[in-house]
Amino acid sequence: MLVDYKNDIYSLSEKCGNYIDRIDLDKQNREILALDELTKNDDFWNDQDRAKNILKKINSIKKRIEPWQELKAEVEDLTTLYELAVEEDKPEYEKEIKDILKNACEKYESLELRELLSEENDNCSAILNIHPGAGGTEACDWGEMLFRMYSRWAETKGYKTTVLDWLDGDGAGIKNVTVLIEGEYAYGRLRYESGIHRLVRISPFDSNARRHTSFASVYVTPDIEDEIEFEINPEELKIDTYRSGGAGGQNVNKVETAVRITHLPTGLIAACQNERSQLKNKNLAMKMLKSKLYDHYKKIQDEEKEKENPEKKDISWGSQIRSYVFQPYTMVKDHRTKVEVGSIQSVMDGAIDVFLDEELKLLRLK
Q: Clarify whether residues 66 and 124 are in a common domain.
A: no
Residue 274 lies inside a defined structural domain of this protein:
yes
In this predicted structure, what is the pLDDT of residue 309?
46
Answer whether 138's CB lies under 8 Å from 201's CB: no
Residue 264 lies inside a defined structural domain of this protein:
yes
Omega prior to 328 cis, within 30 of 0: yes
In this predicted structure, what is the pLDDT of residue 226?
58
List pLDDT tens digits, range 161-190. Answer: 999 999 998 888 999 999 999 998 899 999
Q: Clarify whether residues 142 and 231 are in a common domain.
A: yes
Q: Clarify whether residues 107 and 123 are in a common domain.
A: no
Domain range for residue 210? 119-302+318-366
Residue 1 lies inside a defined structural domain of this protein:
no
Q: Clarify whether residues 170 and 291 are in a common domain.
A: yes
In this predicted structure, what is the pLDDT of residue 365?
56
Q: Clarify whether residues 34 and 126 are in a common domain.
A: no
Answer whether 281's CB lies under 8 Å from 259's CB: yes
Q: Clarify whether residues 179 and 265 are in a common domain.
A: yes
Residue 36 sits in a domain whose CATH number is 1.20.58.410
Residue 295 lies inside a defined structural domain of this protein:
yes
Alpha-carbon distances, residue 181 vs 82, 127, 161 (angstroms): 45, 6, 5
Answer whether 192's CB lies under 8 Å from 315's CB: yes
SS3 at position 116: coil
Q: Clarify whether residues 211 and 87 are in a common domain.
A: no
CA dist., res. 26 & res. 89, Å (int) = 37
Region 299-307 average pLDDT? 68
Q: Clarify whether residues 158 and 47 are in a common domain.
A: no
In this predicted structure, what is the pLDDT of residue 154?
97
In this predicted structure, what is the pLDDT of residue 25?
84
**Final residue of a structural domain among 91, 115, 139:** 115
Listed residue (257, 306, 301, 247) closest to 279, CA to CA: 257
**Final residue of a structural domain among 66, 91, 115:** 115
Residue 347's contacts (CB-CB under 8 Å, 6 or more residues apart) are 149, 324, 332, 341
Q: Clarify whether residues 81 and 153 are in a common domain.
A: no
Q: Clarify whether residues 100 and 123 are in a common domain.
A: no
What share of the chain in percent tops pLDDT 90? 50
SS3 at position 253: coil
List pLDDT tens digits, range 120-150. Answer: 788 889 999 999 987 788 999 999 999 999 9
Q: Clarify whether residues 152 and 178 are in a common domain.
A: yes
CA dist., res. 94 & res. 262, Å (int) = 65
Residue 309 lies inside a defined structural domain of this protein:
no
Q: What total of structural domains would you count in the chain?
A: 2
Confidence grade of residue 312 (pLDDT, cut at 50, 70, 90): very low
**Final residue of a structural domain among 115, 139, 174:** 115
Residue 195 lies inside a defined structural domain of this protein:
yes
List pLDDT tens digits, range 55-113. Answer: 988 998 898 899 999 999 999 999 999 999 999 888 888 999 999 999 999 999 888 88
Residue 308 lies inside a defined structural domain of this protein:
no
CA dist., res. 193 & res. 69, Å (int) = 32
Give the count of alpha carbons within 13 A of 322, CB side only: 26
List pLDDT tens digits, range 231-270. Answer: 788 899 999 998 876 544 444 455 678 999 999 999 999 9
Residue 347 lies inside a defined structural domain of this protein:
yes
SS3 at position 153: helix
In this predicted structure, what is the pLDDT of residue 175?
92
CA dist., res. 346 & res. 350, Å (int) = 7
Q: Clarify whether residues 131 and 194 are in a common domain.
A: yes
CA dist., res. 336 & res. 334, Å (int) = 6
Confidence grade of residue 230 (pLDDT, cut at 50, 70, 90): low
Residue 345 sits in a domain whose CATH number is 3.30.70.1660
